[in-house]
Every structure is written in structure tokens, then in C-alpha cells.
Amino acid sequence: MNEAILKVKDLNAYYNSVCALKGINFHANVDEIVGIVGPNGAGKTTLLESIAGTHKIREGEIYFLDHRIEHWPVLKRRKLGLMLIPQEGNVFPMMSIKKNLEVSVLYSSREEREKLLDYVYELFPVLWTKRKNNANTLSGGQQKMLAIGIGIAANPRVMLIDEPSIGLAPKLVTRLFDTLKKIKEDSGNTIVLSEQNIKILNIADRLFGLEAGEIKFDEKTENLSRQVIKDLYLGG
């Protein structure tokens, strides 16, 4: 379906006097995985944080589900269904895995909560096995699963994920990406993820290329030359 659920218009973002994003126009459709690719420092994290509200933009407009949201606080955006999974920091390390997930379902109705938790445990059975343990007892890969699980448990319409493959062994990257595809197919929701891993080409419907804070392309993955994208934008 070609219906934009998220739109960014003429966005500029700065860190003091350093311009990190220049005139960005971006959109994500319903039922789509959009990859944001680009080298280190391209502005991928800043774009995701600007959309989620954790980075204050200087100019531009952001629309989500027909609301204009660029001045909304993070929590209001989250309640409407926009959830950022940062590279680090959305897991409470000294809390049990179960509690971490339970906090995330709090904005859903009582009937939905159990279904969401069951779904996360079905996707990541290790989280069920270890549910009573503190999150800091999980391996790096398992913590990443918990971070994504926390995102899913919040039942967002759009999940923004910042470089989920970082620090994961190649096999785990493949499994994680397969899981993201399944989540999209099961829910019909939208996933926007920044990546530098070549495997993004296997799951993204569309790719958005960023370089030095500017858009270089916005194209369906099938129309892009894999080799060019790999050489210019992706690492491993």
C-alpha cells in the first residue's frame, strides 16, 4: 500500500553550529521497511532522533498519521505510535527481562498487553527462558533482542531502529533481519531502520541514501544497483 504514514519536510538539524541534516525530505509508507543507509557521520541517527523527538530540529516539518508533530514532546509522539529503538539505552539493565517488557506494554489495553508479551516471547524464546533474570545478564545479541522486544511490546505504528546490526555476529544479523521482516508482515506496521550492513538490501522495500547530511537517493531497493550501494554506503 502506498500511503505515507510518516513525512518529513525540509528538515534542518544542528549540533550548535554544526549542520547535521540539510533540507531533508523523507517519507515512510504503511506496511513498508525503509532503510536509511549512509557512511559514519552521514546523519542517520540525527534523522531518527529528530523524528522521535529526542533531537530538537531547527527547521522543518514532521507529519505522523496526519498530525504535525515536530514540536511535540517525545512521550506524546510515542503515545501516538512512534517508537525509537536507539543503539543503546532503552533497556533497564538492573530490571528483569519480564519487567522491562511489562513497562513497555503499559500504554496498551489490558487485553492487548498479554498478546503483545506472548508475541515478543514467541519471536525471541530466549527472553521467555530468561525472563526472571536481570537484563544485564543477557549477552550482547540477546540484549539487542530485548531492545527490539521492548519496541514491539509498545505496539508502535512506526518503529524507528538505529543500526540494529551493530556488534552482532553475521548469523545473528540474518536472524534479526528475518525477524524484522516477519514483524512487518504480521503487523502491517512500518519499520524505519538505519544501517550500514549489506543485509539491509534483503529486507528493505525502499532505501534512502544519506551522505554528509544530505539526501543522495530515495528509491525502491529493486531499482538500485547492489554494487553501487554496497561500495558507497555499506560496510560488512
Asked if residue 164 binds ligand ATP (CB under 6 A), the reply is no
Closest distance of CB 13 from ligand ATP, Å:
8
Closest distance to ligand ATP from the beta carbon of 16 (Å): 7
List of long-range contacts for 227-233, beta carbons under 8 Å, 24+ apart:
229/37, 229/201, 230/198, 230/201, 232/39, 233/37, 233/38, 233/39, 233/196, 233/209
200 binds ligand ATP (CB under 6 A): no
Binding of ligand ATP at residue 42 (CB under 6 A)? Answer: yes
Least CB distance to ligand ATP at residue 39 (A): 7
Distance CA 13, CA 53 (A): 12
Q: Which stretch binds ligand ATP (CB under 6 A): 39-47, 120-128, 131-139, 141-149?
A: 39-47
**Shortest distance (Å) from residue 20 CB to ligand ATP:** 4
Among 1, 18, 94, 106, binds ligand ATP (CB under 6 A): 18
Give yes or no for residue 43 binding ligand ATP (CB under 6 A). Answer: yes
CA distance 146 to 179: 13
- Distances in Å between the Cα of 197 and the Cα atoms of 16, 26, 97, 167, 229 are 30, 21, 28, 11, 11
Nearer to ligand ATP, 28 or 97 (CB): 28
The answer to whether 52 and 84 have CB atoms below 8 angstroms apart is yes
State which residue, 130 or 162, has the beta carbon closest to ligand ATP: 162
The CB-of-160 to ligand ATP minimum distance in angstroms stands at 12
Q: Are 9 and 60 in contact (CB under 8 A)?
A: yes
Nearer to ligand ATP, 38 or 149 (CB): 38
Structural contact between residues 179 and 168, judged by C-beta atoms closer than 8 angstroms: no
Q: Is 89 a residue that touches ligand ATP (CB under 6 A)?
A: no
Q: Examine residue 53 and tell whether it contacts ligand ATP (CB under 6 A).
A: no
Taking 3-state DSSP, the helix, strand and coil percentages for the chain, each rounded to the nearest 5, stand at 40, 30, 30
Task: List residues near ligand ATP by CB under 6 A.
Answer: 15, 18, 20, 38, 40-46
